[in-house]
């Protein structure tokens, strides 16, 4: 197998942007077969899957995640397994029980492939030294590369030696006016990112929900653009704004029932002066039994909703959204999507949907947000209910332990 340095750039872009030209990964057919990426609808792009994101979160660096992808190819894997086997034999000869135990644990199911081939163990260089130096900072047979090599092999062991890898279904391209298509299981979403302008392609010709929330106005073109207000167009074109707008929309709809609990987005008293850019928003759920439960933070709610929808955050760390939430909320308040209530009539200070945006959700153009977004609304409400039950169960267990 002949691989050039460009393959590393292609994998890096896949893990960073979520998709890359299909031709860029043409020399790595195994990644597709194992479900690390799928084809786009038009088969021109390779689209990362949640399994690829798992590599980012399992391994300590992006370079090791790239190495794990490379290590899926049979020729490279066989060469690296030969070196890994030699390192295991070396640890055994040195009677390094702890090191041997840790190495076997790291390799996981990959050990199943090593045991029958102990006679082929060797520390001779592989034909992939240039690639190895790019991802390990040393060729694979060097001792300094051993921990990274073992982790790269072990991270995909369940897919290959465990035989769990399989091709995944194609995720459709995004459709600006169809949240039902956009918020589907298997979709990836980039972390929130404040940029001056939206990418030129916007939601066109991509399978990845973008993270940007720059101001966007509807173009001068035939319907449906003409029936959509600038604010609604902006919300529909920016997934994080859409999700946060859905939170307060769900809050309003739930509260209007007056019989089945409610959702509140509240601030600690110490944060009231920072309501425009709050460092933290509390999610408080009142159950059908009228029990008020402080479940956690807004960022935790968003992650739970994404999980229920089957949408994965394209980031090594799920906390990537926390630092951007204050600025997102500031934009929501400024453009009258959210509003802040200082508290009156026995209500605590908190956030709710702005009247003008609420009205817009029920106009003709609001069907894109309201009717086609019903599964997102439902996911938010279900998540809140489940979360409150979890908290109450935890409180009950703690009380039982104390008593």
Candidates 4, 104, 11, 17; CA nearest to 66 is 11
User: What values do phi and psi take at 159, rounded to 5?
Assistant: -75, -40
Helices assigned H by DSSP within 319-373: 325-334, 355-360
Q: Of the candidates 155, 187, 222, which is a domain's last residue?
A: 155
Separation of first and last alpha carbons in the chain: 66
pLDDT at 7 > cutoff 60:
yes
pLDDT tier for residue 227 given thresholds of 50, 70 and 90: confident
Q: Are 49 and 149 contained in the same domain?
A: yes
* pLDDT (mean) for 243-271: 91
How do residues 155-172 score in pLDDT, each as one tens digit? Answer: 999 999 999 999 999 999
Q: Are 356 and 227 contained in the same domain?
A: yes
Q: Are 76 and 186 contained in the same domain?
A: no
Whether 147 maps to a domain, the answer reads yes
Q: What is the reported pLDDT for 306?
A: 98
User: Cα–Cα distances in Å, from 188 out to 19, 184, 370?
Assistant: 10, 9, 22
pLDDT at 202 > cutoff 80:
no
Whether 166 maps to a domain, the answer reads no
Q: Are 57 and 188 contained in the same domain?
A: no
Which residues is 176 bridged to in the sheet?
none
Q: Are 32 and 71 contained in the same domain?
A: yes
* pLDDT (mean) for 105-133: 91
- Percent of the chain topping pLDDT 90: 74
Q: What is the reported pLDDT for 265?
A: 97
How do residues 287-344 score in pLDDT, each as one tens digit? Answer: 988 899 999 999 999 999 999 999 999 999 988 898 999 999 999 999 999 999 987 6
Identify whether the C-beta of residue 65 lies closer than 8 Å to the C-beta of residue 56. Answer: yes
Q: What is the reported pLDDT for 196?
A: 56
* pLDDT (mean) for 30-37: 97
Q: Are 81 and 28 contained in the same domain?
A: yes
Whether 242 maps to a domain, the answer reads yes
Q: What is the reported pLDDT for 201?
A: 55
Whether 403 maps to a domain, the answer reads no
pLDDT at 180 > cutoff 90:
yes
Whether 160 maps to a domain, the answer reads no
How do residues 52-81 score in pLDDT, each as one tens digit? Answer: 999 999 999 999 999 999 999 999 999 999
* Residue 348 vs residue 60, higher pLDDT: 60
Instruction: State how many domains the chain has.
Output: 2
Q: Are 24 and 74 contained in the same domain?
A: yes
Residue 97: Cβ within 10 Å count: 10
Q: Are 230 and 101 contained in the same domain?
A: no
Q: What is the reported pLDDT for 315?
A: 95
Q: Are 226 and 82 contained in the same domain?
A: no
* pLDDT (mean) for 136-157: 97
Q: Are 115 and 188 contained in the same domain?
A: no
* pLDDT (mean) for 251-270: 88
Q: Are 243 and 378 contained in the same domain?
A: yes
Q: Are 145 and 218 contained in the same domain?
A: no
pLDDT at 346 > cutoff 70:
no
Whole-number mean pLDDT of the chain? 90
- Domain containing residue 280: 179-393
């Amino acid at each position: 197998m002949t691989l050039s340095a460009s393959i590393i750039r292609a994998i890096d872009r896949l893990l960073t942007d979520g998709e890359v030209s299909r031709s860029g990964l043409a020399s790595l057919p195994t990644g597709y077969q194992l479900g690390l990426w799928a084809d786009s609808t038009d088969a021109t792009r390779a689209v990362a899957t949640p399994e690829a994101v798992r590599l980012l979160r399992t391994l300590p660096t992006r370079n090791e995640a790239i190495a794990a992808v490379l290590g899926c190819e049979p020729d490279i894997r066989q060469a690296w397994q030969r070196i890994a086997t030699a390192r295991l034999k070396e640890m055994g000869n040195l009677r390094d029980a702890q090191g041997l135990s840790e190495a076997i644990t790291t390799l996981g199911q990959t050990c199943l492939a090593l045991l029958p081939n102990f006679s082929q163990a060797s520390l001779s260089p592989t034909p992939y030294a240039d690639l190895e130096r790019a991802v390990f900072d040393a060729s694979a047979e060097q001792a300094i590369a051993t921990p990274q090599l073992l982790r790269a092999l072990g991270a995909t062991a369940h897919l290959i030696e465990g035989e769990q890898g399989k091709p995944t279904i194609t995720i459709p391209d995004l459709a600006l006016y169809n949240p039902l298509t956009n918020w589907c299981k298997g979709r990836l979403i980039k972390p929130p990112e404040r940029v001056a302008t939206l990418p030129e392609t916007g939601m066109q010709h991509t399978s990845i929900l973008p993270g940007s929330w720059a101001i966007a106005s509807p173009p001068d073109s035939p319907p449906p653009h003409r029936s959509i207000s600038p604010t609604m167009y902006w919300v529909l074109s920016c997934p994080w704004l859409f999700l946060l707008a859905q939170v307060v929309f769900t809050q309003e709809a739930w509260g209007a029932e007056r019989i089945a609990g409610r959702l509140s987005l509240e601030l600690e008293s110490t944060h009231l002066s920072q309501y425009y850019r709050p460092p933290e928003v509390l999610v408080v759920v009142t159950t059908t039994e009228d029990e008020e439960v402080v479940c956690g933070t807004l960022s935790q709610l968003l992650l739970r909703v994404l999980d229920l929808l089957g949408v994965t955050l394209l980031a090594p760390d799920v906390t990537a959204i926390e630092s951007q939430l204050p600025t997102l909320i500031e934009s929501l308040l400024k453009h009258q999507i959210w509003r802040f209530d200082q508290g009156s009539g026995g209500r605590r200070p908190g956030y709710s949907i702005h009247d003008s945006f609420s009205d817009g959700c029920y106009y003709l153009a609001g069907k894109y947000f309201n009717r086609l977004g019903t599964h997102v609304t439902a996911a938010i409400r279900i998540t809140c209910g489940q979360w409150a039950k979890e908290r109450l169960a935890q409180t009950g267990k703690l009380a039982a332990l104390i008593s």
